[in-house]
Structure 1
Amino acid sequence: MIIEENDFFSLIVEEDSVFLTVYKPYPIKKFDSTIKKHPRIKLTNFMELKKALEKADESPVPIGIHLPIIEIEIDKEAMSATAVINEEQKEILLKQDYFKEELRAMAIELGIVYGLKEPELTTVRAGKPFIIAEGSPAVKGKDSEITYIERPERKPVIREDDTADYYEMNFIFEVKSGDWLGEKTRPLPGVSGKNLYGETLRAETGDDLPFSYDSKIAFEIEESGKLILRATKSGALEYINGILTIRDHLIIEGDVGVETGNVQFDGSISVRGTIMPGYSIVASSDLEVRAAEGVVNASLIKSTEGSIYIRGGIFGRGITVVEAEESIYVKHANECLLKAGEEVNIGFYALGSTLLAKNILVDERKGKLIGGRAEALFKITASISGNQHERRTELIVKGIDKDNLLADLQVKAHELKSVQQNIDKVSEKVETLELMLESLSDDQKHLYETAKEQLSRLDEQFMDLDREIQAALNLIKYAQNEEIRITKEAHPNTLIQIGSINKLLSKSTVGTFRVEDGVLNV
């Protein structure tokens, strides 16, 4: 079949192949307009085409294939079908009804029985694919939804009036046995779908997400179509590494003193009174001292795993030490040592005290740091530092050596990988021996018990290393923009130090102090 013929060339189709016979040399750029007139021609041999147009040796040369007027392609999931019309644009517009019927007939012949669309051929372009059918994908069901009891935010609130001031916060949140701790809705079934062949696609039910809690402190029960989580014991509600738990809670209605002696307790402690001079109190979890008059000359106030809140402040006279693994919240600190793993948060002032933490936050509206030493890893904030008598006050942000920390992280990551490999090996040994447990000899049983003990030690080593790595990563994450911020006045004789760079103020100033390009901006 001759497609086009003139004095220069002829285009012929034979069994879907396109042949070009050139009688006289013909410019390839000009030949391009000929190809555009015939959208059914798909060039597959450009180099042969170029040679034929240049040599004009009157020999038939295969240059491409002759496409069908309509092509339909179904994707491998049978969820979508696209069509291409290989015809001049004006023909597509003139013969819309014809092409619509052809498209429908071809689709049905290919087995498409679902999701056929009525194409808008006025927007279709010659040789360009467009969608003619779409299946309905299966929709996964909604996952179960979990809601937990909310522990009040630990944020000190300073209230002032003509007669008194208060440094209040919700600190230890106590629950009773049987209390509601959370609830979970059931996952919902999904919505099935269909592919282009009309086949049903099964939908997944939503994921049944598990509660995250210590199994010793709560139980699950079905109530009104929901799964309810209720407490099995009374105590102080806590979230440890994202896991809900309840710690034992000791409430001391009066003071810690002669009647109680020094107190040490595995759990949380609430002291309604104060800590008498010379006495100590240690809690493994959170510890609060509620007396409005504060603490005077106590010896040691410590939380080995949690935080400490002292409502009335501290008069330490160089004796009192307050130490918390997490944070310390105190109204004021007078001649004492406060050491926290996270934050020291002070409402009114610190006078002649030593403060050590990642961040030291003294109320930026009226809070004062007068005398003593405040040493933080990342940030110190206060309204005023020093006083009008120019009492020496040291504000130090140490920062971290990121290069050394990253190098240490690499070492620990290598150790962690080695421990994991050992865990895999020992686990395989334990699992193998467990399968033959009943037939093991005494020596083999001893080997089995030894392997279990080794696995337990390796698991502990893995968790310790992982905690150290996470702690280091958190340090790097928060080690940004180490700064000392004084919002109202930093008096003369205030030492401002960030890293190894410091300056002793000789005049009053105010602002946010940082090291920029190796220079302290004071």
Structure 2
Amino acid sequence: MSDSEENFTQMGVKPIGSVNIIFYTNPEKDALFLQGEIKDKDNQLPNATIIKRLTQSLKGTVVDSGIQQFLQQLKEEKKTDIIHVLTATPAQHGNGKSFVQSDEADLVKTGDIVGTLSAPEAGVDGSNLFGQVIKGTRSEEINFSFDDSVYIKGTTLIAYREGKVIYDDLNHTLTIDAPFKITISEDKMKAHFTYLDLVPLTAELIHKVIEEEHITFGILQDKIDEAVKIHADTKKPIKDFLVAQGIPLKETKQGRIIYSFETTVARTFEEDKKGKIDHRANNSIQSVNEGERIAIIKPPKEGIPGRNIIGITIAPKPPKEAQLKALKNVRSNKENTEFYAEKNGTPIYKRGTISVVDIMQVEGDLNLSTGNIDFDGSISIEGDVGDDYSLKAEGDIFIGGSVGGSKIFAGGSIQIGKGFNARGNGTAECLGNFSAKFLNEAKVLCEKDLIIENEILNSDVKALGKLIMPEGKLMGGTTTVLSGIFVRDIGSPLGITSTLFPGVNFLYSDRKEGFEKQLKTITERTEMINNTIGPILKDKLKLAILPKDKKANVLNLVNELKTLKADRELIQSELENFLDDNKSNRINEVTVFNVLYPGSIVKIGHSQKDFKTESHGPLLITEDIMNSTVKTGPIKMKNSLPKSNK
């Protein structure tokens, strides 16, 4: 045992050979501590026998382990810690007043005696190092706790309600558990009644309990009468009997967009008769024809309010129209509810807009004869993409082979038939899904799902959808995913550090700030136009005498105001959808189907856990908010495998 000198009183110093030995005691003087300081290492150090002789004049028991620690430190250090070497006989203090249960006190009524307080126990005297007596004290404190179901009068404990006396010997707690209770569901839509007594149950008692719980709506009188009858007929307890039920909310069905194509395409691995996968043939780029209807908008349907048993009305969310803006090669009808392709190509949906783009086909590998590609459409490469290339597409990118240390950006999805062997130099960014056979030292950012077949090794991956790799290994690097992580193994037997951040939107701050900046720009431009043409539009005479060219300018500004208004509504809707999606799509969980290895770090919300031992799945990692930590637990395999967003 060691501590700082501030907590001890020095008793003296004794030179022994080449060592000065300083004597300390604690404030109670019932323990001796030594500290050694070497003057000359060349001389002989003291041994255990000498140290014990130094303590012979004091009263107490030698702490052999302390003496051994003291001698060992003398061999290794010039000055030792302050170390405990002798203990006197400490005083034992009384335990205070205990609970003594009355023989008849099992089921009690209000006012019955539950038990009494025992007389406080006397303490046992001890002595200090100098043989002086240390008096054991008598405690007047009550050494158990009790709730408001019990009160004390003198030394008598009296029941404050009817029920069963429950005393917990382990935790020293006393309560009277009522023979009846109301359990209210978390959403306050249902109340269940339990009655354990043999005394005949009455409807009046149930109503009294209901009233005490402030239940004012949805009280089921026929169910209350039924409970009373069942208890009278069977003389058995009534458990979890429904006695009140609210009217559930019927939530609003928000406006939605229905596409004739998949807005995201999941990676599939179909084997041929020989069990091989032709990754080059697994092209997910879609196509539409000129004149084809590619999307329709369905209007919202307003919900119906509900009411809980406390009497509070629960309002549905206000209805919200779905917003979609036609961009390149897409036209809409007058109501802006149907959208049609104006040419053959690939449909692309991103951030509230829809367009149709061309498809660029590259047979074989991307090489120096092809060079970097920046294409206003989708790109399909049959073979491999080596190191130091740049690929940029407004639409999707499909690569049948593998990718080296290159930079890839897609306004849609990215699909790599084999692996992304970036080796610290490759990056990929897409607004749709990203899929590949494996990642090696890659940086990947995607706004939807990340789907990996075999493994992710020492990579930095970020996704606003899910990480889906039920047969894959996640080893090393950093993983930041909004909608949950589903993986076979995390880490490796070698203890590779793998850091996971489930339920985190890596774009939240930048995207929210971007929307707000666009709205600010529109507001400022709208105010400037209104200040310019407002006085003219209000005065018909001024408008009438304007020259022809200035009238045209005014008309252009009026049309611009209409466009700004439409843009504002679209951006505002996108911002609201973004905030809603960020909340509804957040899944603060990690699902491990096989093994979680030591060295894995999971941070969820404000909690973090560094896993030191190996755990076997299937298991679910979630946040334990009450205890500010991360916890693991079993998971049922049914429905645990996620599907990619469609």
TM-score (norm 2): 0.44
Corresponding residue of 2:284: 171
Distance 1:423 1:322, change over 3 A: same
Corresponding residue of 1:471: 578
Corresponding residue of 1:387: 492
Alpha-carbon shift at residue 338 of structure 1 (Å): 0.8
Q: 2:451 aligns with which of 345, 363, 379?
A: 345
Alpha-carbon shift at residue 339 of structure 1 (Å): 0.9
Alpha-carbon shift at residue 450 of structure 1 (Å): 4.6
Structure 2 unaligned blocks of 5 or more: 1-256, 297-323, 633-646
Distance 1:427 1:232, change over 3 A: farther
Using the aligned pairs only, state the percent identity. Answer: 21
Counterpart-to-counterpart distance in 2, 1:457 and 1:230: 24
Cα deviation, 1:163-222, whole Å, max 9, x if unaligned, reads 6446675521124557x55799xxxxxxxxxxxxxxxxxxxxxxxxxx9976945799xx
- Alpha carbons 1:173, 1:236 under 8 Å: kept: yes
Corresponding residue of 2:601: 495
Q: Secondary structure at the match of 2:425?
A: coil
Counterpart-to-counterpart distance in 2, 1:183 and 1:470: 18
Counterpart-to-counterpart distance in 1, 2:535 and 2:343: 36
Counterpart-to-counterpart distance in 1, 2:331 and 2:519: 38
Q: How many residues align?
A: 335
TM-score (norm 1): 0.53
Verify: 1:317 aligned to 2:317, yes or no: no
- Alpha carbons 1:423, 1:459 under 8 Å: kept: no
- Alpha carbons 2:266, 2:433 under 8 Å: kept: no
Corresponding residue of 2:408: 301
Q: Secondary structure at the match of 1:234?
A: coil
Let me know the Cα RMSD of the aligned residues: 4.6
Alpha-carbon shift at residue 330 of structure 1 (Å): 1.5
Alpha-carbon shift at residue 255 of structure 1 (Å): 2.4
Corresponding residue of 1:20: none
Verify: 1:440 aligned to 2:526, yes or no: no
- Alpha carbons 1:219, 1:231 under 8 Å: kept: no
Verify: 1:512 aligned to 2:617, yes or no: no
* Aligned amino acid, residue 361 of structure 1: L
- Alpha carbons 1:307, 1:327 under 8 Å: kept: yes
Corresponding residue of 1:371: 476
Q: 2:397 aligns with which of 287, 293, 298?
A: 287
Distance 1:503 1:460, change over 3 A: same
Corresponding residue of 1:154: 265
Counterpart-to-counterpart distance in 2, 1:446 and 1:183: 36
Counterpart-to-counterpart distance in 1, 2:540 and 2:367: 59
* Aligned amino acid, residue 456 of structure 2: A
Cα deviation, 1:465-484, whole Å, max 9, x if unaligned, reads 442332122112223x4111
* Aligned amino acid, residue 472 of structure 1: L
- Alpha carbons 1:386, 1:392 under 8 Å: kept: yes
Distance 1:520 1:219, change over 3 A: closer
Alpha-carbon shift at residue 343 of structure 1 (Å): 2.3
* Aligned amino acid, residue 447 of structure 2: G
Q: Secondary structure at the match of 1:470?
A: helix
Cα deviation, 1:455-506, whole Å, max 9, x if unaligned, reads 6456545543442332122112223x41111111111111122123212211
Distance 1:466 1:393, change over 3 A: same
Alpha-carbon shift at residue 249 of structure 1 (Å): 1.6
Counterpart-to-counterpart distance in 2, 1:450 and 1:424: 7
Cα deviation, 1:131-183, whole Å, max 9, x if unaligned, reads xxxxxxxxxxxxxxx997444972222345876446675521124557x5579
Alpha-carbon shift at residue 381 of structure 1 (Å): 1.4
Distance 1:503 1:259, change over 3 A: same
Corresponding residue of 2:434: 328
Higher mean C-alpha deviation, range 412-421 or range 435-444: 412-421
Counterpart-to-counterpart distance in 1, 2:535 and 2:397: 43
Q: Secondary structure at the match of 1:502?
A: strand
Counterpart-to-counterpart distance in 2, 1:288 and 1:404: 30
* Aligned amino acid, residue 383 of structure 2: G
- Alpha carbons 2:441, 2:459 under 8 Å: kept: yes
Counterpart-to-counterpart distance in 2, 1:392 and 1:160: 34
| Structure 1 residues 230-309: aligned runs within 5 Å | 232-239=342-349, 245-291=355-401, 294-297=402-405, 299-303=406-410, 305-309=411-415
* Aligned amino acid, residue 174 of structure 1: S
Structure 1 unaligned blocks of 5 or more: 1-145, 185-210, 221-227
- Alpha carbons 2:329, 2:357 under 8 Å: kept: no
- Alpha carbons 1:419, 1:462 under 8 Å: kept: no
* Aligned amino acid, residue 578 of structure 2: A
Counterpart-to-counterpart distance in 2, 1:243 and 1:410: 15
Counterpart-to-counterpart distance in 2, 1:153 and 1:467: 19
Counterpart-to-counterpart distance in 1, 2:435 and 2:450: 6
Alpha-carbon shift at residue 258 of structure 1 (Å): 0.3
* Aligned amino acid, residue 606 of structure 2: S
Corresponding residue of 1:137: none
Counterpart-to-counterpart distance in 2, 1:414 and 1:148: 28
Distance 1:322 1:400, change over 3 A: closer
| Structure 1 residues 394-409: aligned runs within 5 Å | 394-397=499-502, 399=504
Distance 1:219 1:289, change over 3 A: same
Corresponding residue of 1:483: 589
Counterpart-to-counterpart distance in 1, 2:369 and 2:568: 42
Cα deviation, 1:55-90, whole Å, max 9, x if unaligned, reads xxxxxxxxxxxxxxxxxxxxxxxxxxxxxxxxxxxx
Distance 1:150 1:430, change over 3 A: farther
